[in-house]
Amino acid sequence: MTKTTFDLVVVGGGPGGYVAAIRAAQLGMSVALVERAELGGICLNWGCIPTKALLHSATVLRACREAAHYGVAGAGEARPDLAAMVARSRKVAGRLGQGVAHLMKKNGVTVFAASAKLAGGGRLALDNGSTLSAKHIILATGARARELPTLPLGERVWTYRQALVPAEIPKSLLVVGAGAIGAEFASFYRAVGAEVTLIDMTAEILPQEDAEISALARKAFEKQGIRVLTHCAVASSSLTASGVKVTLDQQGKRSELEVDRVIVAAGIVGNVENLGLEQTRVKVEKTHIVTDGLCRTGEPGVYAIGDVAGAPWLAHKASHEAVLCVEAIAGRPAHTIDPLRIPACTYSYPQVASIGMSEARAREHAAKTGGDIRVGKFTFAGNGKAIAMGEDQGLVKTVFDAKSGELLGAHIIHPEASELITGYGVAASLEATEEDLMHTVFAHPTLSETLHESVLSAFGRALHA
């Protein structure tokens, strides 16, 4: 007979849910995980991982086209094999999905393929007719793409799911929303030959990033041939014989654009429906579950982590919350997450990565507290490894508290930005000051030397600028 009573039941098997299950099992709890679709969640199956596989294919394609620059002959005629790219992307996702299933079995986690609803008294009703009981329940149900009334989804209007498995490369494409997801798809489809228009309602693309970095990203995108429109929204749309006709509204000025396909990347909404929250003290605000610093909801014994619990909507934030939530449940010391120490990465070309405050936010903070800041900048044009790689465009920007030397923010734009940002993440977690970073020895020749030079620049000591 299948066990139905556990110490902990996790609802949702994404990077928050499955990590919570593993950590709880490591701490000796009996654990069940309920997942209605695929283990690994959206991130592994339809988000983080398969998009990076496609983007890496685009990187290889770009390298082949530019091979002659590096003294490699015969590769310049490279062309995209879309079917093979998509197949590889799905294979990568499938492999990792099997890996999560193995981890569940290895750690003794009982997995239920079902949907679950809170039934009161520490019980969960599954749609297969079963009822599970647990002292603690973690909701990790994630989020889904926000739909726009002016762009009904269909065969020609896609979310990320359809954009990951196209049957062919559209000749023309509109990407609505220039955050991380929109920027990544714009980069991929431009690399494989589509004419891409990228729009956003805000003043700049990647609006959550430092303004200077966003401006550099826009310049890089436009250099690649991506048409970028800001302060721009979709007023209406209609299907044509072969595509979509869209009316754009750019600060009151309207224009029409006809494209083969549209990708909607205008944010996400939390999966809070059909969880039985209505009969509990769980509060929902703007489609996300309200929690405290230890991921507790208003209902005793019910917790929420990851995208369903609100911003930042990042897989690594979900996994970190999973660990701290479970450790708090187990009575272990747990430290709440400081959002300013969570790195954010956009895997477009070039990549953008950041942690902490933007320069503008840091200046506002300093003005309120009577302090001041120091800003350092170093371009990759002064880095030997970047020049050798042929990737010498980009910037590292650091923001420090002028008096204490605290690292307030760090921002990078470069094809390897996502790998570099962790250096500043470690520094922020260890509360390293500018002096600590200045005294750190960085290997030569490496891209990471730019991290050092930016810190030196903030205090008037840059060596290679």
Helix (H/G/I), strand (E/B), else coil: 462: coil
My answer on whether 18 and 135 are in the same domain is: yes
CATH of the domain at 247: 3.50.50.60
Rounded to whole angstroms, the Cα distance separating 39 from 94 reads: 10
Rounded to whole angstroms, the Cα distance separating 288 from 300 reads: 18
What's the token pair of residue 241? 């014989």
* Residue positions forming the annotated binding site for NAD(+): 177-184, 267
Rounded to whole angstroms, the Cα distance separating 46 from 161 reads: 6
pLDDT of residue 1: 55
- Specify burial of residue 109 (Cβ count, 10 A radius: 0-12, 13-18, 19+): buried
Helix (H/G/I), strand (E/B), else coil: 381: helix
Rounded to whole angstroms, the Cα distance separating 89 from 83 reads: 10
C-alpha triplet 171, 177, 181: angle, nearest 5°: 85
Mention every residue, 6+ apart, whose C-beta is less than 8 A from residue 22: 103, 104, 107, 109
My answer on whether 22 and 139 are in the same domain is: yes
My answer on whether 23 and 130 are in the same domain is: yes
What residues does 258 pair with on adjacent strands?
A: 245
**Domain termination residue (choose one: 339, 370, 395):** 339
Predicted TM-score of the model (pTM): 0.95
Q: How many residues does the chain have?
A: 465
Amino acid sitting at position 187 = S
* Residue positions forming the annotated binding site for FAD: 52, 307
Task: Domain of residue 284: give its range.
Answer: 5-145+269-339
C-alpha triplet 150, 314, 317: angle, nearest 5°: 150
What's the token pair of residue 381? 């044009």
CATH of the domain at 409: 3.30.390.30
My answer on whether 137 and 41 are in the same domain is: yes
**Domain termination residue (choose one: 243, 266, 289):** 266
My answer on whether 164 and 250 are in the same domain is: yes
**Domain termination residue (choose one: 315, 339, 363):** 339
Mention every residue, 6+ apart, whose C-beta is less than 8 A from residue 363: 373
* Residue positions forming the annotated binding site: 52, 177-184, 267, 307
My answer on whether 21 and 132 are in the same domain is: yes
As annotated, the active-site residues are: 444
| Residue ranges with strand state E in 305-452 | 344-346, 351-356, 373-379, 395-401, 407-414
Tens of pLDDT along the chain (465 residues) come to 578 999 999 999 999 999 999 999 999 999 999 999 999 999 999 999 999 999 999 999 999 999 999 999 887 789 999 999 999 999 999 999 999 999 999 999 999 999 999 999 999 999 999 999 999 999 999 999 999 999 999 999 999 999 999 999 999 999 999 999 999 999 999 999 999 999 999 999 999 999 999 999 999 999 999 999 999 999 999 999 989 999 999 999 999 999 999 999 999 999 999 999 998 999 999 999 999 999 999 999 999 999 999 999 999 999 999 999 999 999 999 889 999 999 999 999 999 999 999 999 999 999 999 999 999 999 999 999 999 999 999 999 999 999 999 999 999 999 999 999 999 999 999 999 999 999 999 999 999 999 999 999 999 999 998
**Number of independent structural domains in the chain:** 3
Domain assignment of residue 344, yes or no? no
Rounded to whole angstroms, the Cα distance separating 126 from 141 reads: 14
Rounded to whole angstroms, the Cα distance separating 16 from 6 reads: 19
pLDDT of residue 276: 95
pLDDT of residue 75: 78
My answer on whether 18 and 94 are in the same domain is: yes
Rounded to whole angstroms, the Cα distance separating 112 from 97 reads: 15
My answer on whether 404 and 418 are in the same domain is: yes
My answer on whether 72 and 96 are in the same domain is: yes
My answer on whether 54 and 106 are in the same domain is: yes
